[in-house]
Amino acid sequence: MLVKTDPDQIQSYLADSSNMSGGYASGVAIPKDYKEVSSFLMDCSSKKIPVTVSGGGTGTVGGRIPFGGFVLSTEGLNRIIDIQDDYAVLQGGVFLLDLQAQVLNAGRFYPPDSTEQLATMGGNIATNASGARSYHYGPTRDFVKSIKVALSSGKIIEIERGKYKTDESGFVKFNDLGIKVPSYDIPNVKNTAGYYVKKNMDPIDLFIGQDGTLGVVLEAKVKLLKKPNFVFDCVSFFNNKDDALKFISDIRSVKSVLSIEYMDKNSLNLLRSDYPSIPKDAIAVIFEEQSDDSPDYDKWNRILEKNNTLTDKIWLGDSPASIDRIKKFRHRLPSALFEFFSSNNISKISTDIAVPPDRLINMLDLYENVLIQNNLNYVIFGHIGQNHLHVNILPRNRNEFELSQKVYMSFVKAGISFGGTVSAEHGIGKLKKIYLEEMFGRKTILKMVSLKKEIDPSCILGRGNVFDERLLD
């Protein structure tokens, strides 16, 4: 096993897309096989050495950033083992980009198409990642058929979906591991906040969305679908926000829609220098992606005209080249925001709140009113089809940074009061654990701590992720 301890060589493992600062570690271990993972974890467990699992570094909540101990990088576990018609078997260090390229060549595709294509599959599973198409297909959890996980003890377990279930008391035994899953309520929205639990649950779901705190994802078998014969994108601009929201309501009923995305006026202003063809009077944009062998363009024109779309300014993606241009436009905004936070050396201030459908407009109005009242720079964009918008606050100085954190908490409290979640797709990591406790309360957080201790009794994995590590001691 390769072990790096030189400070210059391990520096890149102390950061992720959250721009959280202050990370440090004694070294980085890069195992080449499962046996080396097992031996490393067994040794760390016996010595109580904290271990932070490192994937592609694309996470936005600081889960990959260590504060002591060792980093275990999955970069050496990067084989795609098998591809069949309806599934693929791959190691945890495989990049999503590489999986998609291979399965598309075989006429199949993997639907959880997260924005960060250089995320690893192990990281996607550990955060239950999702992307724009989760509107139609669902998140990573819905496509994981089995996983192979290394526990902190060094034991390697394999869980096949459907093979085990918790009993009425929450107890389940699998791979000689017997645990009792606690009971608490999870909001009925898109959600990756805290450990996933429900009655008669499959234990495989404990390891999906666990933020690297319960085990190391070594290998997974994931479901594939047939590649759609035809996909087209439509970028619709509006000079009135209410028209954009009515348009969303109309297209939700179209079964062939794969994704519905939103950008506000400030998002468009941030992109205008790179894309001067953005209409000058546009204050909102909706992205729709459809899978339809015979798209009814006349029907779409009627829906667009009904909602006062700037019909002469629509961008249509109906060829590989035009679809790629639209995808790059959509992904340019997150990268521009990352550049802002990096250049200003501040942690990312971005909400990940999802609310029930009947509260979407309330939440959006609240965002805009509070941000304008506090004179804060911001952009709002994201998966509006799932009532899940990202508010990125762009502070200009330290005072605004501190004000932004207070405003963020007010959004969290509002989202929770509406029946929503504090994290719809990015997990909790280290940056958002204060919001998780706001959502669930200390009593439920302690239930999560108890569950972690059952699976990771040495408490070495992902310390500082999900909840305060002082609760482990």
Q: CA 405 to CA 462: how far, in whole Å?
A: 24
Residue 69 · residue 50 · CB < 8 Å: yes
Give the 3-state secondary structure of residue 85: coil
User: Which tokens in the block code for residue 405?
Assistant: 């954190």
Region of 321 on the Ramachandran plot (φ > 0 left; ψ -120 to 50 alpha; else beta): alpha
Among 184-188, 217-221, 250-254, which stretch is predicted with the lowest mean pLDDT?
A: 250-254
Top-level class of domain 231-417: alpha beta
| Assigned CATH for 80-226 | 3.30.465.10
Calculate mean pLDDT across residues 444-469. 96
Q: CA 166 to CA 199: how far, in whole Å?
A: 7
Domain residue limits, the chain: 2-73, 80-226, 231-417
Q: Note the pLDDT of residue 49.
A: 98
Among 100-114, 182-196, 446-460, which stretch is predicted with the lowest mean pLDDT?
A: 100-114
User: Which tokens in the block code for residue 228?
Assistant: 């759609």
Q: Note the pLDDT of residue 294.
A: 66
Calculate mean pLDDT across residues 198-203. 96
Evaluate if residue 347 carries a pLDDT over 80: no
pLDDT in tens, 356-400: 999 999 999 999 999 999 999 999 999 999 999 999 999 988 999
344: pLDDT confidence band, cut at 50, 70 and 90? confident
27: pLDDT confidence band, cut at 50, 70 and 90? very high
State the greatest distance between any 2 C-alpha atoms of the chain, in Å, as a whole number.
Answer: 67
- Pairing state between β 177-180 and 80-83: unpaired
Spell 78-113 as b/e; 16+ CB within 10 A means b.
bebeebeeebbbbbbbbbbebbeebbeeeebbbbbb
| Assigned CATH for 2-73 | 3.30.43.10
Q: Which residue has the higher pLDDT, 23 or 114?
A: 23
Cβ-proximal residues to 302 (8 Å cutoff; 6+ apart), any chain: none
Q: Note the pLDDT of residue 40.
A: 98
Q: Note the pLDDT of residue 227.
A: 87
Q: How far is CA 320 from CA 64, 316, 327, in A?
A: 34, 11, 10
299: pLDDT confidence band, cut at 50, 70 and 90? confident
Calculate mean pLDDT across residues 53-62. 91
Residue 64 · residue 72 · CB < 8 Å: no
295: pLDDT confidence band, cut at 50, 70 and 90? low
Neighbours of 240 (CB within 10 A): 13
Calculate mean pLDDT across residues 334-343. 84
Calculate mean pLDDT across residues 91-96. 96
Among 15-19, 22-26, 60-64, 283-287, which stretch is predicted with the lowest mean pLDDT?
A: 15-19
Taken in order 149, 152, 156, 161, is the CA torsion positive or negative?
negative
Query: Which amino acid appears at position 251 of this protein?
Result: I
Evaluate if residue 304 carries a pLDDT over 90: no
Calculate mean pLDDT across residues 297-314. 78
Q: Note the pLDDT of residue 137.
A: 94
pLDDT in tens, 227-268: 888 888 989 999 999 999 999 988 888 888 999 999 999 999
Q: CA 314 to CA 330: how far, in whole Å?
A: 14
Q: Note the pLDDT of residue 301.
A: 76
DSSP per-residue string spanning 407-443: HHHHHHHHHHHTT-BSBSSS--TTTSHHHHHHHH-HH
2-73 and 231-417: identical CATH topology: no
